[in-house]
Chains A and B, each alone.
Chain A
């Protein structure tokens, strides 16, 4: 099944463009993490609001920091937020969704559905603000807020999948020979939801990066370091005075990366579509 999906993905021009963009950006992120790029994000290397030049490709900001360095470092921040949030929320969503689906209409299912309903009912930005209050000074407050709210969609999807798969013959067989539920869920049920998870994860990734920007603007974002959201928040104070460096650099990077992910997510969805895969 995966081989076929890869073939279909390869023939999708938009999807491959998306994949290419994502790979380029993730390589930048890896270079930042390994200390090769963006290490000078905090250093003052010029004067206030220098314009574009060979030393400062995107100019400098108010403090005289190089905007290119900050944009590069911001890429790593975006990936750190995206990966962490996607991984944790997908894991949490999968476990909760699988439990709910397996024990559907049981008390566990009810509890999980209730929790999901509660979390979905609180407007997200307010919830993020509340988590930021509660975890004041803890660097992961924003990440946690996103994980806590994003898992519910994944859980809903997985729950549906599990309920469907549960009725298939091979599962019935595994139950008949007395395999414990946990084992069946993790060995036999969940692997069959992989394609759904992959698509959902790429959607969560986009949402996480997008949300970071808004939360940073609202002052609920990351603690130390720099992110595109912080750069945009900075730019909102500068553009009316005619300084566009932060806005152009962060806005463009954000747009290109999100575009890459959106294209990839679409292509993945098409390539992994189970109806098409089995056809």
Chain B
């Protein structure tokens, strides 16, 4: 991988980032929610309304506001929340670890289990076990995330079911309380992703297992574990990495948005959800802008990884 190639990939990311920031700015800020009327006192005069608009920066010209937005993202000086007055960056720093702690176990488990089931299905391709796993994964894909969350809550957190876990909240003081609060959200996340993961891993593993050298090894009696770690996983590393990398923004932002607003967990998803329903622009634009930028970065890194593995890519 050459230096000019890296530079060109990075340069390619710039218009993409400009596009992301521009669209999120246009929708979230220019056409976005208006907090003026929530921040004025009762019986306001026209003048007071304008004062609040001014202090929110709504009266500035479009391009100036967009320019400020890009500057904010570049300097990571994201301003203050319109609701609580807290610096957005400190809100993000406080909430991001919670979101990670919330979704990481589910994400890892979902992928590991998916990998295991996918391998199992691929190994016994066409047999009843394959069919069972595949049918189960279609069932899994057909249940809505929301239905899973509500069902698990009924089954595990209420007197109508086992009543083992809390209905909501996140008062984590140690490992015990961590498991107490994280179990149900983790299960939900695993269940919703497992069907898709299993199918994905089965597809790539089936391709690998069909390859001649693997077939030969198998014929010589190599065990599934040896084959998996020594050969199959190594060869399918790139598609797996790609998938994991691209699902991170989904899991952290979208997954936590639903889980946290449902279970009342003070992570980045709940903060974003509250920002949506209260029209807190500084938080919204920071979250959208930053995830967009991170996604573009992931995209660029991914491209580079590909070119390491397959040098032809960088030439075309």
Choice from A124, A220, A236, A242 contacting B150 with Cβ under 8 Å: A236
Choice from B141, B142, B144 contacting A214 with Cβ under 8 Å: B144
Within 8 A of A (CB), among B259-290: 261-262, 272-273, 276-277, 279, 284, 287-288
A 108-151 binary contact with B (CB < 8 Å = 1; else 0): 00000011011111111111011101110000000000000000
Please state if A247 and B253 are interface contacts (CB–CB under 8 Å).
Answer: no
Number of interface residues of B (CB under 8 A): 50
A42 beta carbon closer than 8 Å to chain B: no
Choice from B19, B24, B146 contacting A232 with Cβ under 8 Å: B146
Known contacts A123-B253, A262-B138; A232/B150 CB under 8 A: yes
Please state if A122 and B144 are interface contacts (CB–CB under 8 Å).
Answer: no
Please state if A121 and B296 are interface contacts (CB–CB under 8 Å).
Answer: yes
A44 beta carbon closer than 8 Å to chain B: no
Q: How far is the CA of A207 from the CA of B243 in the complex (A)?
A: 18
Binds A, one of B2-10, B25-33, B182-190: B25-33
Q: Report the nearest A residue to B250, measured CB to CB.
A: A123
Binds B, one of A56-64, A191-199, A250-258: A250-258
Please state if B254 and A124 are interface contacts (CB–CB under 8 Å).
Answer: yes
Choice from B150, B287, B291 contacting A247 with Cβ under 8 Å: B150
Binds A, one of B110-118, B152-160, B211-219, B306-314: B152-160
State the Cβ distance, A199 to closest chain B Cβ, in Å: 14
Please state if A121 and B295 are interface contacts (CB–CB under 8 Å).
Answer: yes
Residues of chain A within 8 A (CB-CB) of B24 are 122, 126, 130
Please state if B31 and A133 are interface contacts (CB–CB under 8 Å).
Answer: yes
Choice from B20, B28, B143, B153 contacting A121 with Cβ under 8 Å: B20
Please state if A126 and B258 are interface contacts (CB–CB under 8 Å).
Answer: no
Choice from A117, A218, A259 contacting B276 with Cβ under 8 Å: A218
Q: Which of A122, A210, A220, A258 has the most CB of B within 10 A?
A: A122
Please state if B28 and A259 are interface contacts (CB–CB under 8 Å).
Answer: no
A239 beta carbon closer than 8 Å to chain B: yes
11 A-B residue pairings within 8 Å (CB atoms): A114-B16, A114-B19, A122-B24, A123-B249, A123-B250, A123-B288, A126-B288, A126-B291, A133-B28, A247-B150, A263-B138
Q: How far is the CA of A203 from the CA of B31 in the complex (A)?
A: 31
A266 beta carbon closer than 8 Å to chain B: yes
Q: How far is the CA of A120 from the CA of B291 in the complex (A)?
A: 11
A1 beta carbon closer than 8 Å to chain B: no
Within 8 A of A (CB), among B104-156: 135, 138-139, 141-147, 150-151, 153-154
Q: Which of B24, B142, B295 has the most CB of A within 10 A?
A: B142
Choice from B16, B249, B257 contacting A218 with Cβ under 8 Å: B257
Known contacts A121-B295, A126-B272, A214-B258; A235/B150 CB under 8 A: yes
Q: Report the nearest A residue to B30, measured CB to CB.
A: A134
B299 beta carbon closer than 8 Å to chain A: yes
Residues of chain B within 8 A (CB-CB) of A254 are 144, 147
Q: Report the nearest A residue to B33, measured CB to CB.
A: A133
Please state if A251 and B147 are interface contacts (CB–CB under 8 Å).
Answer: yes
Known contacts A255-B143, A262-B138; A125/B31 CB under 8 A: no
Please state if A262 and B295 are interface contacts (CB–CB under 8 Å).
Answer: no
A 213-255 binary contact with B (CB < 8 Å = 1; else 0): 1100111100000000100100110011010100100010011
State the Cβ distance, B132 to closest chain A Cβ, in Å: 13
Residues of chain B within 8 A (CB-CB) of A214 are 144-146, 258
Residues of B within 8 A of A (CB): 15-16, 19-20, 23-24, 26-28, 31-33, 135, 138-139, 141-147, 150-151, 153-154, 158, 160, 167, 249-250, 253-254, 257-258, 261-262, 272-273, 276-277, 279, 284, 287-288, 291-292, 295-296, 299
Choice from B16, B32, B135, B144 contacting A133 with Cβ under 8 Å: B32
Q: Report the nearest A residue to B27, measured CB to CB.
A: A130
State the Cβ distance, B281 to closest chain A Cβ, in Å: 10
For the residues of A in contact with B, the DSSP-based class is helix
Q: Report the nearest B residue to A235, measured CB to CB.
A: B150
Q: Report the nearest A residue to B143, measured CB to CB.
A: A255
Known contacts A114-B15, A262-B138; A130/B28 CB under 8 A: yes
Residues of chain A within 8 A (CB-CB) of B20 are 118, 121-122
Choice from B23, B33, B279 contacting A122 with Cβ under 8 Å: B23
Residues of chain A within 8 A (CB-CB) of B272 are 126
Known contacts A126-B288, A236-B262, A239-B150; A259/B142 CB under 8 A: yes
State the Cβ distance, B78 to closest chain A Cβ, in Å: 16
State the Cβ distance, A36 to closest chain B Cβ, in Å: 27
Please state if A218 and B144 are interface contacts (CB–CB under 8 Å).
Answer: no
* Other contacts beyond A125-B254, A219-B277: 6, CB < 8 A: A114-B19, A121-B292, A122-B295, A123-B288, A125-B253, A236-B146
Residues of chain B within 8 A (CB-CB) of A131 are 27
Q: How far is the CA of A63 from the CA of B26 in the complex (A)?
A: 40
Residues of chain A within 8 A (CB-CB) of B147 are 213, 232, 247, 251, 254-255
Known contacts A121-B299, A213-B146; A134/B16 CB under 8 A: no
Known contacts A219-B277, A259-B138, A262-B138; A134/B31 CB under 8 A: yes
Residues of chain B within 8 A (CB-CB) of A259 are 138-139, 142
Known contacts A123-B249, A123-B250, A262-B142; A240/B288 CB under 8 A: no
Q: Which 5 A-B pairs have the closest CB atoms?
A: A134-B31, A118-B19, A130-B27, A258-B142, A259-B142
Residues of chain B within 8 A (CB-CB) of A120 are 295
